[in-house]
Structure 1
Amino acid sequence: MTTTPELGRWDDLAAARTRGDVGEGIASVLALLGMPDLVSFAGGFPDPETFPRERVSTLLQEFAASGEATAFQYAPTRGLAGPLAALADRLETLQDRRPADDELLITSGAIEALELICKSFLDPGDLVVVEGPTYLGAIQAFRSFEATLVAVPMDEHGLDVEDLERRLAGGLRPKLVYSIPDHQNPAGVSLAADRRAPLVELARHYGFLIVEDVAYRELGFSEEALPSLWSLASDVVVQTGTT
């Protein structure tokens, strides 16, 4: 005999990490998009006018007519060889460093990448340093893996690396330091050139991993691009991005 549980019963069975505000922040903000006359800066939505609709439609039709079935099958975990090679070429062009074959992984957005990093490195209670303030989606990802977050302030030149160094010298031992060094979300500032090398040296000295989010790196139009943290120190930096 099958019975239907009472409404809300499954809430009592939910894991503790899923309760509270975890997972609700972005959803509640994006829900406001349906309000009339609202101009929202909450989500990073591209201008629909920039979508290459005709080009994509043509390519899909050509592919479907070709009889090639690979794109309709399951792909390798890391991604298809063609897109991986194209991404490696792009990284080499934009950041002057090419990832090794086993250093590149295609994910369904930055959140999946962050969750894979959390799954690989974090145990409940582990410390994660974030910029104050920082991207809400990253906060939710770290909290969902029961990390303890420590915010380090920023100024007009980005993360206060000297403040981080003082805390590390005082005994702070994070596993991860999450940074958006270029056009930071939500502050909009970029990490100064003279703070980038010291940050990666701290990672080497104290043994933590820097998670560099470069989703907005290519949005700078008036200044010369600064070296990414990953290009400076791929041994202590894992980078997430979008293209």
Structure 2
Amino acid sequence: MLQNKSMIVKLLALLTIPVSHATGQVPIDPNPFWQSGEAGVYSTGMIWRDCNNDGYIDVFFSNGNDMALASNTIYISQYGSLLGTASWYSANAEYSGHCGVGDIDDDGFPDFAVANYLGTGGFSTAGLSNLYFNSNGLPNTTPDWYTGDSIYSFSCALGDVDGDGDLDLAFTTGEGYTTKKQRDLIYFNVNGALQTVPGWQSTMFTEGMDVTWGDVDNDGDLDLAFCYDDVAAAV
């Protein structure tokens, strides 16, 4: 999925200079002001969110891709400055794809959902995607929830699809390199607890790459968009 080399995440600084339409300048420094300390983890998913409710956004990474078994990481902002080493590491190491962050159990702290692309055996095995609950400013290091079935999943997305005020969790599934086709899934949140059996499955079996929520027809209900490796994108 990624080139076989270490991937170091870099962030670009915002400058205080105004945008100039005449010269095409943009207020972003072309040089990174920060780099993550972990090399060789193949960071694939990244989300900004205030993990500990101190008013500063922190950065969540899901790592591994199809290149290495790696722990997921969170870098906590120290009053606006990110440290060179992660403040949180997951105890489990997976081939993880993208991630989602949101308050599943409505306790005021954002929880960390991760789509695991492969099982621990690599392309020959599907795996369990998982969720880490955050109850005091940092998530638990071991997963608190797993998908009920083994799946190949490169991406997940959180959204309240049934309008009950709780975030539900969707996964796009399947694996393109070895033509493992699966149904896309939604796990419903019932009173702050994700179910282990999917409450919705797509009729198509596909090789999914990404998933996102949005209200396409502006009717007040969330719709679900998928992009695939083997067929046209679908909503």
TM-score class normalised by the smaller sequence: under 0.3
Q: Which TM-score applies when normalising by structure 1? A: 0.26
Larger radius of gyration: 1
Q: TM-score, normalised by structure 2?
A: 0.27
Higher strand share: 2
Instruction: Looking at secondary structure, tell me which structure has more helix per residue.
Output: 1
